[in-house]
Amino acid sequence: MTTLKLDQVSKIFPSTARGGGLTPALRKVSFELKPGEVISLIGESGSGKTTIGRILLRLTKPTSGTVTFDGKDITSYSTRGLREYYRNVQAVFQDPYSSYNPIYRADRIYDLVRSSYFPRVSDKEWSAKVEGAIDAVALNPGDVLGKYPHQLSGGQQQRLLIARALLLDVKVLVADEIISMLDASTRVDVLNLLVKLKRQGMAVLFITHDLSLGNYVSDRTIILRHGAIVEMGATEKIFGNPQHEYTRMLLTAVPELHKKWQHAPLAPVGAAAVTGAGAGVISQSGQATALARASLLDEITHAEQVVKRDLRAMFGGGRAVASGKSQVAVALEPPALHEFEPDHLVAEPE
Amino acid sequence: MSVRIENLSVAYRTARGDVTAVDGISFQIADGEIMGLAGESGSGKSTLGNSLVYLDPRMKTTGGKVTVDGKDLPIADNNAMRRRRMTDVSLVPQYAMSALTPTRKIGKIINDLLKSHKIQNRQEVTAELHRRLALIGLNEDVLSKYSFELSGGMRQRVTIIMSSLLNPSLLVADEVTSALDVSTQRAVGEMLLEFRDRGYIKSAIAITHDLSILAQISDSIAIMYAGRLAERAPTSVIVDNPLHPYTQALLNSLPEVGVRHDQVTLTGIPGRPPSLVNPPAGCRFRERCPFAFEKCTQTPPFEEIRPGHLVACWKVSQEQTAVTAGAGQEQA
């Protein structure tokens, strides 16, 4: 059993905004990814979903908490151990155009895999392996091999990157927004490919902000907000019976073909509201409109500012926080999760 | 009819000759109508939208006529267009995030815009600007910020306010919701509706590849394929009763909330759109169409099957003829 497990993982970034300070990107996130399982990690910009992916790939170090693969802490790997880890855990990212070097042919990504992992495999055997992998992602090797990235469509590029992971026979695939840049007509092909790989035993962490895509592919769903898990469990339970207010709000915002949004016209704006400055990011002036409320993104930036201010007040600036990990753990306490039903955890309102 | 487009063709000049990205398209948009324009990447939807506002030096019109509020829109004449932009036609560009210069504050950018359009009553317009910011819940201190200090959703809303500040007759909104989170998407979509309802914009073209957004905000939808229109109908008809095989395939490839892979297996559309450098004769969807037959080697007319429902497909027009003939016999 190859299980990837996060235990109380937190990450604090120094903020880049004016005024500095700290941004807690993850707050004590714990979950397990088992073989043959697809987990959707759903959240808006700034919810920490990409940070989780980066931590799993060892591109970012967690501030506290541990990530274990087969029971071994991934930060403890030696150079050789790390190579072995990357044989098992690979990623595909959102923008296929920037995953390739435009001056080389696209299939160079396979040559690089060969030189670092399979130097002793013969040419013939290797090309059979490459063609097999390309075939598995429903592409015709003759159509794509030897082409430059600009000669391939986004969907083809994305599938070639998945084929690269197949060459390594990975156990875990971190798929970070791999669908969002593709056309509707090719999206589904990539999704169905993930389903096929899962049936063959691969574990997939499907990071997305699109709830309908997440629902389509995944067995389990994790909803993130401000770096903490607000709801987690079997996908059909989360979508069928969402308990957290935030999850419900996200679901009502999803555009559906056969159901219209309830559009409430906005109240007229009086002169007082126009001149009343300094009301924070969200209008608090009584005209707190449907539009303003729906714009959660702004609310998140606002919430981050509040947390940062609290952190600064508690520890007096960045250095103190960085040196006192145990103190940070207190400040980052996420809302407690309780079991609503088997395999369905819900966080307390924040 | 506030906007009327007749037989518009737009080509890109390339080293290998002209590439016709918009090929003889005609449609009309009524006052107060938001028309959605959908299609795959490379279908020419952005080219169509952009050409109505700004024809960049790589593009040229090879025919057609555009009228807005009964007046000709000289889209090929950049100097004449300069006076029509913002008031008659206006664009929210595809990359609104990068449309705002990072070196000037938002308020300054808007001021420059008003100056360059020689707006006389600038104070009045500024007051209106503040009113609109308050309306959508943006604090007026965004005006003293730089674009990189705003979140993506705030930037997108600021660009829509800028583009519609002088109450244009036609607003072309190119992929305004595509890079946003679901909740912000909804806020921006509802903002377009609100601005239409309040008459800030008389009519709009919302360009996107996401049909489910269009189902929310548009009154009618036009589907574009390889430079031509495939189907145009009121939103409810396109969503519930599409006739063109391409529209049907596009809708079938959309996962809806609540649909899972073990219940329904969705299918994509095999193949790719044809190259526009040397497009094949006849129906351009032919290669990927499950219903293609001999007649499809001729170009199908874009004809009105039912009032307000136009389709370019031989199969549909044949079935339609059969139905009307059948009905005629029954009556006889």
Q: Give the 3-state secondary structure of A192-256.
A: HHHHHHHHCCCEEEEEECCHHHHHHHCCEEEEEECCEEEEEEEHHHHHHCCCCHHHHHHHHHCCC
Partnered with residue A292 across adjacent β-strands are: none
Q: Which stretches within chain A are classed as H helix?
A: 49-56, 79-88, 108-117, 123-136, 141-144, 154-167, 184-199, 211-217, 235-240, 245-253, 271-275, 290-294, 296-315, 318-323, 325-331
* Chain A positions in Cβ-Cβ contact with residue B107 (cut-off 8 Å): none
Q: Inspect the interface and report whether the beta carbons of B183 and A273 lie closer than 8 Å.
A: no
What was the pLDDT predicted at B233?
A: 96
Contact B244, B60 (CB under 8 A): no
Q: Which residues of B68-102 are buried (b: 16+ CB within 10 A; e: fewer)?
A: beeeebebbeeeebeebbbebbbbbbbebbebbee
d(CA A313, CA B257): 43
* Chain B positions in Cβ-Cβ contact with residue A266 (cut-off 8 Å): 135-136, 194
Mean pLDDT over B205-215 rounds to 91
**pLDDT for A151-185, tens place per residue?**
887 778 888 998 998 898 899 999 998 887 777 77
Partnered with residue B206 across adjacent β-strands are: B36, B173
Q: How far is B331 from chain A (nearest CA, A)?
A: 36
What was the pLDDT predicted at B160?
A: 92
Task: Look at B196 and B274; give whichever has higher pLDDT.
Answer: B196
Mean pLDDT over A275-289 rounds to 36
d(CA A160, CA A92): 10
What was the pLDDT predicted at A293?
A: 41
The type of residue at B111 is N
Kindly report the pTM of this predicted structure: 0.80
Q: Inspect the interface and report whether the beta carbons of A297 and B255 lie closer than 8 Å.
A: no
Q: Which of A217, A214, A204 is nearest to A242 (CA)?
A: A214
What was the pLDDT predicted at A308?
A: 53
For the ranges A179-188, A306-315, B286-295, B319-328, which has the lowest average pLDDT?
A306-315
Q: How confident is the model at residue A128 (pLDDT cuts 50, 70, 90)?
A: very high
Packing angle between helix A123-136 and helix A154-167, nearest 10 degrees? 130
For the ranges A272-286, B119-133, B181-195, which has the lowest average pLDDT?
A272-286
Q: How confident is the model at residue B331 (pLDDT cuts 50, 70, 90)?
A: low
For the ranges A2-16, A199-213, B283-297, which has the lowest average pLDDT?
A2-16
* Chain B positions in Cβ-Cβ contact with residue A240 (cut-off 8 Å): 258
Give the chain B residue whose CA is nearest to the CA of A269.
B135
Best of A153, A180, A190, A216 to disrupt the B interface (most B CBs within 10 Å) is: A216
Backbone phi, psi, residue B68, to 5°: -125, 125
Partnered with residue B1 across adjacent β-strands are: none
Q: Is pLDDT of A93 > 60? A: yes
Mean pLDDT over A125-131 rounds to 93
Mean pLDDT over B109-115 rounds to 91
Instruction: Give long-range contacts, CB 8 A cutoff, 24+ apart: B270-278.
Output: B272/A153, B273/B40, B273/B42, B273/B43, B273/B225, B273/B226, B274/B226, B276/B19, B276/B20, B276/B21, B276/B42, B276/B44, B276/B226, B276/B227, B277/B14, B277/B16, B277/B17, B277/B19
* Chain B positions in Cβ-Cβ contact with residue A18 (cut-off 8 Å): 149
* Chain A / chain B CB contacts < 8 angstroms: 188
How crowded is residue B4: how many other Cβ atoms within 10 Å of its Cβ? 16
What was the pLDDT predicted at B72?
A: 92
Q: How far is B63 from chain A (nearest CA, A)?
A: 30
**DSSP summary character for residue A266:** P
What was the pLDDT predicted at A298?
A: 47
Sign for the pseudo-dihedral over CA of A231, B188, B178, B228: positive
Q: How far is B321 from chain A (nearest CA, A)?
A: 30
Give the chain B residue whose CA is nearest to the CA of A261.
B216
The token pair that represents B184 in the structure block: 């912000």
DSSP SS3 for B66: strand
Contact A261, B189 (CB under 8 A): yes
Mean pLDDT over A295-311 rounds to 49
* Chain A positions in Cβ-Cβ contact with residue B135 (cut-off 8 Å): 266, 269, 289
* Chain A positions in Cβ-Cβ contact with residue B197 (cut-off 8 Å): 265
Mean pLDDT over A35-49 rounds to 88
d(CA A314, CA A328): 10
d(CA B189, CA B85): 23
What was the pLDDT predicted at A322?
A: 39
Full DSSP string of B258-321: T--TTT-------S-PPPSSSPPSS-TTGGG-TT--GGGGSPPP-EEEETTEEE--HHHHHHHH
Respond yes or no on whether ipTM tops 0.90. Answer: no
Q: Say if strands B59-68 and B89-92 run parallel, antiparallel, or are unpaired.
A: unpaired
Q: How far is A140 from chain B (nearest CA, A)?
A: 11
What was the pLDDT predicted at B304?
A: 92
**pLDDT for B1-18, tens place per residue?**
689 999 999 999 888 788
Of B137, B182, B191, the CB nearest to A282: B137
* Chain A positions in Cβ-Cβ contact with residue B189 (cut-off 8 Å): 255, 261
Helices and strands in chain B: count of H runs, count of E runs: 11, 12
d(CA B163, CA A73): 53
Q: How far is CA B195 from the centre of its chain?
A: 17
For the ranges A183-187, A285-289, B159-163, B286-290, which has the lowest average pLDDT?
A285-289
Q: Inspect the interface and report whether the beta carbons of A250 and B183 lie closer than 8 Å.
A: yes
* Chain B positions in Cβ-Cβ contact with residue A216 (cut-off 8 Å): 255, 259-261, 266
d(CA B220, CA B170): 15
Give the chain A residue whose CA is nearest to the CA of B150.
A298
What was the pLDDT predicted at A285?
A: 35
Any idea how long chain B is?
332
Q: Is pLDDT of B95 > 70? A: yes
B57's CB contacts (< 8 A; 6+ apart) are: none
Residue in the block written with tokens 């541990």: A66
Mean pLDDT over B230-255 rounds to 92
* Chain B positions in Cβ-Cβ contact with residue A296 (cut-off 8 Å): 181, 183-184
Q: How confident is the model at residue B163 (pLDDT cuts 50, 70, 90)?
A: very high
Q: Which of A184, A303, A246 is nearest to B215 (CA)?
A: A184
Mean pLDDT over B152-172 rounds to 91
Q: Inspect the interface and report whether the beta carbons of B153 and A298 lie closer than 8 Å.
A: yes
What was the pLDDT predicted at A317?
A: 44
Most confident of A124-128, A280-284, A322-326: A124-128
Q: How confident is the model at residue B329 (pLDDT cuts 50, 70, 90)?
A: low
Q: How far is CA A331 from the centre of its chain?
A: 24
The token pair that represents A61 in the structure block: 């170090």
Mean pLDDT over B52-62 rounds to 89
Full DSSP string of B67-124: EETTEE--TT-HHHHHHHBTTTEEEE-TTHHHHS-TTSBHHHHHHHHHHHTT-S-HHH
Q: How far is B191 from chain A (nearest CA, A)?
A: 7
Best of A257, A261, A263 to disrupt the B interface (most B CBs within 10 Å) is: A257
Please give the mean pLDDT across all residues of chain A: 79
For the ranges A209-218, B51-60, B225-234, B319-328, which has the lowest average pLDDT?
B319-328
Q: Is pLDDT of B259 > 80? A: no
Q: How far is A240 from chain B (nearest CA, A)?
A: 8
Task: Look at A263 and B169; give whichever has higher pLDDT.
Answer: B169
Mean pLDDT over A43-63 rounds to 88
For the ranges A126-130, A179-183, A272-276, B49-53, which has the lowest average pLDDT?
A272-276
The token pair that represents B174 in the structure block: 């190119």
Mean pLDDT over A277-295 rounds to 37
Contact B22, B55 (CB under 8 A): no
B326's CB contacts (< 8 A; 6+ apart) are: none
Best of A38, A198, A259, A291 to disrupt the B interface (most B CBs within 10 Å) is: A291
Task: Look at A97 and A305; give whichever has higher pLDDT.
Answer: A97
**pLDDT for A206-253, tens place per residue?**
998 888 888 889 999 999 988 899 999 999 999 989 999 889 888 888
Of A187, A209, A295, the CB nearest to B137: A295
Q: How far is A72 from chain B (nearest CA, A)?
A: 33
Partnered with residue B25 across adjacent β-strands are: B8
* Chain A positions in Cβ-Cβ contact with residue B136 (cut-off 8 Å): 266, 289, 291-292
Contact A154, A96 (CB under 8 A): yes
